[in-house]
Structure 1
Amino acid sequence: MNPSNWIDLAQDRETGIETLRAHFYKGHAYDPHWHDSYLVGVTEQGVQRFNCRRARHDSTPGKIFLIEPGEIHDGEAPDDAGFTYRMLYLDPQWLERELASLFEEAPANHALSFAETLTQDPRLAQAALFAFGALHGQELRIVRQSALDGLLGRLTQHTQWRQRQSTDPRLPLVAQRARDYLHAHCYRDLGMDELAAACGIDRFRLTRAFKAAFGLPPHAYLVQLRLARARRLLAGGAWPADVANDLGFADQSHLGRWFLRAYGMTPAAYRKRCSNLPD
């Protein structure tokens, strides 16, 4: 990471919501990755360029970007001044529970979905920044809850319910079968031959189908899957060395290199900022 780049991250104990404010100078910010959370971010300064949902987006000051759990995205700064942004990471169960109370009838077997990835809504931006400030600044509980209620009220204008599906008809079945296999065996030292055999296809065609469907080849997807789970374990106070061992990384340094590329900070720094536990 550029030594001039900086990240300020905290976690709200009551809701588990992470709040992050960061700045990246020109060039690469972070590799393609995903989160287990719903992301609500506001660009403060500069141009924040990222790829998501098979499209390139340029977020400028005041714009809001909305990213669902599992959506692969990256980040870069195309201009010399770089970019600054604020982000809230909303736990899916918390968000669905809270938003469901705002709808008269939340449909069964449906999941929340963002209608668009990048939008211009000054009232939503204001609500997101107010919620960020309340949580990041550890305001009184009533202030934090009121700020979140205001954010949720504005988010209803940008969310929709989509039916949960075991398979996505838009994606090749073999790619989805491979993804399910990776999720079921993500801690093991898998080989492409094993994955291809489980899917009934040769590994070359599998790699092409998988990358076309998910934007990453299987090996990179597996790394990101492990990183997403590492993030949760570290936030709970687990030691980086134990996380690396439990998730199948060669060692702590191996986990650290990938974690830094994806999230812009080391596992130890992330653990400390989320858990407030000593190194």
Structure 2
Amino acid sequence: MTPRNWIDLKQDAESGIETIRAHFEGHAYDPHWHDSYLVGVTEQGVQQFNCRRQRHLSTPGRVFLLEPGEVHDGDAPAPEGFTYRTLYLDPQWLDRELRSLFEDTPEHSQVSFAATLADDPRLAIATANAFQSLHSHEMRIVRQTALDTLIASLTSHLRWRSQLSPDPRMPLVAHKTREYLHSHMDQDIGLDDLARVSGVDRFRLTRAFKAAFGLAPHAYLVQLRLAKARRLLAAGQSPVEVAAALGFADQSHLGRWFQRAYRMTPADYRKRCSNLPD
């Protein structure tokens, strides 16, 4: 982090929701994805990012909505940079809360966002209030009320889609490769392993996978490990333990990739989420 760039991260112990307020000038972060739903609001400046094969520009008051697994990056096109507030909502928590608050939620479906950017002042205010109540550790009843208001404000931007396995829109080659990466993420996987599993040569495999998921297989594997690293670090495991468990060469190898994706070190992330010393 440079002196002009900063991140303020906290985690709500009850809901597990992470809240991040950050400021970036120039390049913010490389393409990556999260296993959470992101609901955030741009506070200052122009926030530029690529997602869903489009370039988006979020300006003050606009809400950005990203689903788990959606690849995105971040840049500041203007010299003054941008500042934003984001809530990272656990998919199981969001599904449970929606089904408890509303009776007509469909079975065997998962939540998706209708659009990546929303011009909705009501949702922007609800996002900011939920962020503030969690980030400042307000009373439990205040936090819960703010989250209920956020969920109610989100409903017009949500869609329910059927859980399809495998998704028929994606080539079977890409699905087989992804399943193998998920089940062997801690191993030293080679392209020849993936080619053998998928039944096609390495070049067709890479093209199909990148077309389906927006990342080459090696980049997807790194992001898969980083998403798991966040969970393990937040649970209190040390960077050394996490690096060994997920197949990184060593702690510094994990640290380099973690900082490129999240702009903080694994030790700093662990400390902010778990309140444990480095």
Q: Report the residue type matching 1:148 in the other structure.
A: L
Looking at structure 1, the residues matched to 64 and 168 of structure 2 have their Cα atoms a distance apart, in angstroms, of 26
Tell me what 1:21 maps to: 21
Tell me what 1:250 maps to: 249
Aligned residues: 278
Offset at 1:106? Answer: 1.8
- The answer to whether the 8 Å contact 1:16/1:91 transfers is yes
2:195 corresponds to 1:213: no
Looking at structure 1, the residues matched to 212 and 129 of structure 2 have their Cα atoms a distance apart, in angstroms, of 37
Offset at 1:103? Answer: 2.4
Alignment of 1:40-189 (within 5 A): 40-189=39-188
- The answer to whether the 8 Å contact 1:2/1:25 transfers is no
Tell me what 2:2 maps to: 2
Q: Report the residue type matching 2:161 in the other structure.
A: R
Looking at structure 1, the residues matched to 35 and 263 of structure 2 have their Cα atoms a distance apart, in angstroms, of 17
Offset at 1:54? Answer: 1.1
Looking at structure 2, the residues matched to 105 and 42 of structure 1 have their Cα atoms a distance apart, in angstroms, of 28
Looking at structure 2, the residues matched to 79 and 171 of structure 1 have their Cα atoms a distance apart, in angstroms, of 37
What does the per-residue CA deviation read over 1:36-91, in whole Å, with 9 as the maximum and x for residues that have no partner? 11100100011111111111101000000001111111111111001000000011
- 3-state secondary structure, aligned to 2:248: coil
Offset at 1:272? Answer: 0.4
Offset at 1:116? Answer: 0.8
- 3-state secondary structure, aligned to 1:51: strand
What does the per-residue CA deviation read over 1:186-226, in whole Å, with 9 as the maximum and x for residues that have no partner? 11000100110110000011011111111111001000000
Looking at structure 2, the residues matched to 95 and 2 of structure 1 have their Cα atoms a distance apart, in angstroms, of 34
Q: Report the residue type matching 2:19 in the other structure.
A: T
Looking at structure 2, the residues matched to 49 and 177 of structure 1 have their Cα atoms a distance apart, in angstroms, of 33
Q: Report the residue type matching 1:107 in the other structure.
A: P
Looking at structure 1, the residues matched to 221 and 256 of structure 2 have their Cα atoms a distance apart, in angstroms, of 15
Offset at 1:102? Answer: 2.9
Offset at 1:176? Answer: 1.4
Runs ≥4 residues deviating over 4 A: none
Q: Report the residue type matching 1:25 in the other structure.
A: E
Q: Report the residue type matching 1:18 in the other structure.
A: E
Looking at structure 1, the residues matched to 224 and 103 of structure 2 have their Cα atoms a distance apart, in angstroms, of 35
Offset at 1:104? Answer: 2.1
What does the per-residue CA deviation read over 1:221-260, in whole Å, with 9 as the maximum and x for residues that have no partner? 0000000000000011110010000000000000000000
- 3-state secondary structure, aligned to 2:31: strand
2:264 corresponds to 1:265: yes
Q: Percent identity?
A: 71
RMSD of Structure 2 on Structure 1 (CA) = 0.8
Offset at 1:3? Answer: 3.3
Offset at 1:21? Answer: 0.1
Q: Report the residue type matching 2:115 in the other structure.
A: E
